[in-house]
A and B are shown apart, each in its own frame.
Chain A
Amino acid sequence: MSPPAPSMRKPVLIQVFAWIGMLTLLGASIGLSFLPMDSYRIAIHLSLAGAMAALVAGFFMSLRNAPLLARILALSALIWLALLLVYSLTDYLSR
């Protein structure tokens, strides 16, 4: 008797739950966009976008299970991008 074929139900369910989490964050972000505009709202929207992006990278791009080299490269991308944005914007934000 051959062993039962492995089920892909659990990994698929994990992706579905991550997707539901993203849609929840998206709904919250859209709802908050009707609050009065101020700098806090910008920070909230960008934080929620960052949280959704982290879920996409962690689950859809499998970064949570990725080899160390892939994680280091993903972190490097984030650091280089942060250097570009933070160093450039510091000039404007500190005026």
Chain B
Amino acid sequence: MNADTATPGLAEQFVDLQQQRRSSLAGMWIFIATEAMFFGGWFLGYAVNRFLHPEVFAQAATHLDLLMGSINTGIILTSGMTMACAEIAGQFERRRPALVLISVTIFLGLVFLAIKGYEYHHEYTEGLVPLAWLEFSYDGAKPEIAQMFFNSYFILTGLHALHMIVGVGLLCALWILVWRWRESGRVARQMQVIGMYWSFIDIIWLFIFSSLYLLHA
């Protein structure tokens, strides 16, 4: 055992804490790249169908709740800011502000999910959920094409909501880690990695909102 392995928070495969931090950042960016490709495929499917049926898709988009989508976009951007500030608090070893900011981020994430749930309920009552055992009732032109729009909408927003739920779970775990505050460097690194995941979810939502909600007739 060399002297460096005795550094608090340093795993044995790393030379120093800086190398460990760089490795965790690199690993997280590789993970984000795979996630970007995963969502990219779904966005591609949507883009192709939108290109083939522009009028029907633009008309179908008017059935989405633009106000709720806009509020949710503001909420998710605000949660990204509070998480970024929590990371700064972690770097400055300010435990209490970090805990408050993580709590606010969790709250905003839950509000986002609640609003999304409200939207889903509204779409369910209007008969716009394209599931095999539900009747799809659409009052506009070419309902069979419009159904493809709602397929993309529910897949993209559903996968995003699933990532949000995982993100809220990670933030709750992070809150406990910050509350315990074992090693400053380790806590700051954990905050940075989870913060990157949370910001990535923000980015995905920005493109969902811009390509589904805003491209209405």
Q: Which residue of A lies closest to B33 (CB)?
A: A77
Q: Scan B6-39; emit 1 where CB is below 8 A from any A CB, else 0.
A: 0000000000000000100110011011001100
Verify A22–B207 contact, CB threshold 8 A.
Answer: no
- Say yes or no: is B215 at the interface (Cβ < 8 Å to chain A): yes
Verify A88–B81 contact, CB threshold 8 A.
Answer: no
Once the chains are docked, how many angstroms separate the CA of A3 from the CA of B73?
42
Residues of A within 8 A of B66 (CB): 30, 33
Verify B202–A56 contact, CB threshold 8 A.
Answer: yes
Q: Which residue of B lies closest to A66 (CB)?
A: B25
Q: A19-B78, A30-B70, A92-B52 are in contact. Are A60 and B202 (CB under 8 A)?
A: yes
- Minimum distance in angstroms from A91 CB to a CB of chain B: 9
Verify A89–B207 contact, CB threshold 8 A.
Answer: no
Verify B25–A70 contact, CB threshold 8 A.
Answer: yes
How many A-B residue pairs lie within 8 Å, measured between CB atoms?
135
Once the chains are docked, how many angstroms separate the CA of A67 from the CA of B22?
7
Q: Which residue of A lies closest to B87 (CB)?
A: A62
Q: Jot down 29 A-B pairs with beta carbons below 8 A, ordered by A.
A: A8-B88, A11-B88, A19-B78, A23-B74, A26-B70, A26-B73, A33-B213, A33-B215, A41-B215, A49-B209, A49-B210, A56-B199, A56-B206, A60-B83, A62-B87, A67-B25, A70-B22, A70-B26, A73-B26, A74-B32, A76-B33, A77-B32, A78-B36, A84-B40, A84-B41, A85-B44, A88-B44, A89-B44, A92-B48
Q: Which residue of B lies closest to A82 (CB)?
A: B40
Once the chains are docked, how many angstroms separate the CA of A69 from the CA of B177?
27
- Minimum distance in angstroms from B140 CB to a CB of chain A: 15
- Say yes or no: is B214 at the interface (Cβ < 8 Å to chain A): yes
Once the chains are docked, how many angstroms separate the CA of A66 from the CA of B26?
10
Q: Please count how many residues in chain B sit with their CB below 8 Å of the partner chain's CB atoms.
A: 54
Chain A 41-95 interface residues, beta-carbon cutoff 8 Å to B: 41-42, 45-46, 48-49, 52-53, 56-57, 59-62, 66-67, 69-70, 73-74, 76-78, 80-81, 84-85, 88-89, 92-93
Further 9 A-B residue pairs, CB within 8 A, beyond A8-B97, A11-B88, A66-B25: A8-B89, A8-B91, A19-B78, A26-B77, A29-B210, A45-B214, A49-B206, A61-B200, A67-B22
Residues of A within 8 A of B200 (CB): 61
Once the chains are docked, how many angstroms separate the CA of A49 from the CA of B206?
6
Verify B84–A15 contact, CB threshold 8 A.
Answer: yes
- Say yes or no: is A12 at the interface (Cβ < 8 Å to chain B): yes
- Say yes or no: is B109 at the interface (Cβ < 8 Å to chain A): no
Verify A60–B80 contact, CB threshold 8 A.
Answer: yes
- Say yes or no: is B92 at the interface (Cβ < 8 Å to chain A): yes
Q: A30-B70, A61-B195 are in contact. Are A70 and B210 (CB under 8 A)?
A: no
- Minimum distance in angstroms from A73 CB to a CB of chain B: 4
Once the chains are docked, how many angstroms separate the CA of A60 from the CA of B178?
19
- Say yes or no: is A1 at the interface (Cβ < 8 Å to chain B): no
Residues of A within 8 A of B207 (CB): 46, 49, 53
